[in-house]
Amino acid sequence: MRVLIVKTTSMGDVVHAVPVVEDIKRFISDAEIDWLVEDSFADIPRHVAGVSEVIECSVRKWKKRIFEKSTRGQIKALCEKLRSKHYDLVIDLQGLIKSAVLASWTNAPVAGYDWRSGKEPLATVLYSIKSSVDRQKSAVDRCRELVAKSLGYDFGSTKPQFNFKFEGSPESVGCVFFFCNTSRETKLWPEEKWIELGAELIRRGKKIVLPWGSPEERDRVLRIQARLGTGAEVPDRMSIGQLMEKISSSDAVIGLDTGMTHLSAAMGRPTVGIFRDYPIELVPLVGEGKKKALGGVGCCPQVQEVLSAFEKVIQ
């Protein structure tokens, strides 16, 4: 059986969909699973055991250059590739009109959320199979349930499995990664708190690593690093795959409600998540390692709370 998973963005959402691969393999042993994903997040499914092929799309870029000849050529090439695969079923875990359109390019049956369960009800027009999934469930559980209903199995009480494959990076031993940046201002934790937290961890013998992804993010981590001194490092910009290799051997990750924090927990790393503007129960940290999520809507965890959580996850 050939199955295509459509989960293109964002980074955290792609991470939350990973357990469906192990579920499918457990209940349909001969399934061949491909994954359609935005090119900037392709490293995530590429590191998942059980994914046969990662197919990249560039919808974000296409929307900015929709009238360019190169864009039309890329869309045509993607359509041809998807149709050549002859999938038995395509499952749209995104629940958006754009993802439903992408799924429809396969010319295969498409499964997705029903009109009450998805983010954009109009997307259901393109689905052959529609399933009801409680919107109050966590993101991971919603993905698992939709796939199970679409393929006709029951995962019961089994825990979500994130079967990532990575080699590790010895130079990250003794390091704590701070993910201080995120997509929304309302998710940010004050820089002074990062500095206070970093100073205490450096005093305890840890090295702080401050990754970044954009010029604005680089400016933020450089300000923090300048206050922390030689005990903190701002590395060159890294891809998601490179970051996965680095954090896989680190002592811990402390980060905001952002994709890399969720990815760290999913990889089984000791992880502390700082939430500021979203209910933790809807996007909890999930994974087999020790993790602790702090805060919630309108909350601003104190440094001592984060330190206490850090101590617990590294025990």
- Is 191 found in the same domain as 118? no
Whether residue 159 lies inside any domain: the answer is no
CA distances from 262 to 18, 37, 59, 122, 179 (A): 11, 17, 23, 29, 11
The verdict on residue 97 lying in a domain is yes
Which long-range CB contacts under 8 A does 271-278 form with residues at least 24 apart? 271/313, 272/306, 272/309, 272/310, 272/313, 274/189, 274/301, 274/306, 275/187, 275/299, 276/186, 276/187, 276/188, 276/189, 276/300, 277/184, 277/186, 277/187, 278/187
CATH code for the domain of 15: 3.40.50.2000
Q: Looking at 99, 118, 151, which one is the last position of a domain?
A: 151
* Total domains, the chain: 2
- Is residue 50 located within the same domain as residue 110? yes
Q: What is the pLDDT of residue 168?
A: 79
Please report, to the nearest 10 degrees, the dihedral formed by the alpha carbons of residues 46, 49, 51, 56 taken in order.
-10
Answer whether residue 164 is part of any domain: no
> Where does residue 25 rank: exposed (0-12), middle (13-18), buried (19+ CB within 10 A)?
middle
Residues contacting 58, CB < 8 A, separation 6+: 38, 39, 74
Same domain, 16 and 105: yes
In a domain, 136, yes or no: yes
Range of the domain at 107: 2-151
Instruction: Say what the pLDDT of residue 246 is.
Output: 96
pLDDT tens profile 82-120: 999 999 999 999 999 999 999 999 999 999 999 999 999
Residue 170 has a pLDDT of: 87
Do 176 and 127 share a structural domain?
no
Tell me, yes or no, whether 74 and 38 share the same domain. Answer: yes
- What are the C-alpha distances in Å from 45 to residues 41, 114, 122? 8, 25, 27
| Low-confidence residues of the chain: pLDDT under 50 | none
Look at residue 9 and tell me if it is in a domain: yes
Last residue of a domain, one of 122, 151, 180: 151
Domain for residue 165, yes or no?
A: no
Q: 223 and 117 in one domain? A: no
To the nearest whole number, what is the mean pLDDT of the chain? 97
110 and 52 within one domain? yes
* Residues 96 and 125 reside in one and the same domain: yes
Question: Is residue 245 situated within a structural domain?
Answer: yes
User: Is 294 in the same domain as 248?
Assistant: yes
The residue count for the chain: 315
Give yes or no: residues 107 and 17 share one domain: yes
* Pair (175, 147) in one structural domain: no
Per-residue confidence (pLDDT) for residue 167, from 0 to 100: 80
The pLDDT tens digits for 111-145 are 999 999 999 999 999 999 999 999 999 999 999 99
Instruction: Assess if residue 57 is contained within a domain.
Output: yes
User: Do 231 and 308 sit in the same domain of this protein?
Assistant: yes
Mark which of 116, 151, 186 sits at the end of a domain.
151
